[in-house]
A and B are shown apart, each in its own frame.
Chain A
């Protein structure tokens, strides 16, 4: 007798192996839905229940989630691109040509990485402005705003270090100008530039340093601060949903 798919799934979830991994067993009750969140190392960052108001599109435009989503796309495409990229001069440039013409899906991955990078910068700015305009930075959420500014800076540095890696004219001169701006810092400017480039000129050392920054140091720093950023949302009482509409109408009346 043919069983429905749901019945098969329920049987699977009732099996000994499945229960040993996921522990929640079959069922669609609130208890089971709660267990999905609570017994998962990644998902238990969330609360078991969420306020419905916060999930309206107009409240946040989901900008924070979208920023994180673009970050995930960047990490995945970035790691894949790393498999065909040598951070050496001038091999880096020929590798870009390879990715474009020789590597299967190379041009797609490179394009996706590039457009996701632009999208992430745009989204992180939009997220910041949206949080500001709806007042979600106010106490007790002040420090999360500061963490957010730190994440904004990390995002800009990630984009900037990544910009050099193709080693084309655009990359080289953008970094030349940028490093000269760094040398404009009073007192320490030239030393900062020397450390940044690993030398006096934008050459092989600079490429390698930017590569390590872009692929290792800054992503780890970003993940570290993203974790704090999400944690603080819980600790500060969940996403700020604004006051109910009956109060906001009275705002201008004082």
Chain B
């Protein structure tokens, strides 16, 4: 036993390893590699590769179905389709605070969130409440059939209207 310990401490004068040290390092190194590999594979396993979720692209229908100066909530897809004099735009209806679905209050002219009282103007800017950011504008365009299309995964800078 003492001899083994001695061997472990006995190093080559030019800094090499003895056999025991080499195998210990080889073993620990392999364990580290295996551990890292396991962690990577575990993370990949836990992150699903296929999601059964609806497409972010929404067909909002014909422009004519929206009256002028209107704010229409589509709760199924979580967007507001707004028609103003300058044109159309789409807002995300998901409150930027903690993800609750906001509602349009026509009598007050504001968009309100029921969870913590955040309030927004129809153009998405925040009036009151704990929401940190305004409601994002979403990319909107007209497809070949003349339908309004909205991409919920694609926020754009504000005040970009779609004119028809």
Residue ranges of A at the interface with B (Cβ–Cβ < 8 Å): 173, 176-177, 179-181, 194-195, 198-201, 203-205
Main secondary structure of the interface of B (DSSP, over half): loop
Partner of B47, one of A176, A179, A180, A194: A194
Q: B53 and A203: CB pair below 8 A?
A: yes
Q: B46 and A195: CB pair below 8 A?
A: yes
- The answer to the question of B108 belonging to the interface, with a C-beta cut-off of 8 Å to chain A, is no
B83 to A: closest C-beta gap in Å: 28
- The residue on A at minimum CB distance from B56 is A200
- The answer to the question of B1 belonging to the interface, with a C-beta cut-off of 8 Å to chain A, is no
A170 to B: closest C-beta gap in Å: 13
Given A200-B51, A201-B53, A203-B53 in contact, is the A177-B99 Cβ separation under 8 Å?
yes
B46 to A: closest C-beta gap in Å: 5
Q: Which residues on the A side are within 8 Å of B48 (C-beta)? A: 198-199, 205
Question: 0/1 per residue, B85-102, Cβ < 8 Å to A?
Answer: 000000000000011100
Partner of B98, one of A177, A194, A205: A177
- The answer to the question of B115 belonging to the interface, with a C-beta cut-off of 8 Å to chain A, is yes
Q: A204 and B47: CB pair below 8 A?
A: no
CA of A200 to CA of B48, assembled, Å: 10
Q: B46 and A176: CB pair below 8 A?
A: no
Q: A176 and B51: CB pair below 8 A?
A: no
A189 to B: closest C-beta gap in Å: 13
Measured as residues with beta carbon below 8 angstroms from the partner, the interface class of chain B is: 10 to 19
- The residue on A at minimum CB distance from B114 is A173
CA of A203 to CA of B51, assembled, Å: 10
- The residue on B at minimum CB distance from A200 is B53
- The answer to the question of B52 belonging to the interface, with a C-beta cut-off of 8 Å to chain A, is yes
B residues 94-152 with Cβ under 8 Å of A? 98-100, 115
Partner of B100, one of A173, A200, A203: A173
- The residue on B at minimum CB distance from A196 is B46
B residues 37-61 with Cβ under 8 Å of A? 43, 46-48, 51-53
Q: Which residues on the B side are within 8 Å of A179 (C-beta)? A: 99
Q: Which residues on the B side are within 8 Å of A204 (C-beta)? A: 52
CA of A76 to CA of B46, assembled, Å: 29
CA of A198 to CA of B48, assembled, Å: 6
Of all A-B residue pairs in the complex, the 7 with the closest CB atoms, nearest first, are A180-B99, A180-B98, A177-B98, A199-B51, A176-B99, A198-B48, A195-B46
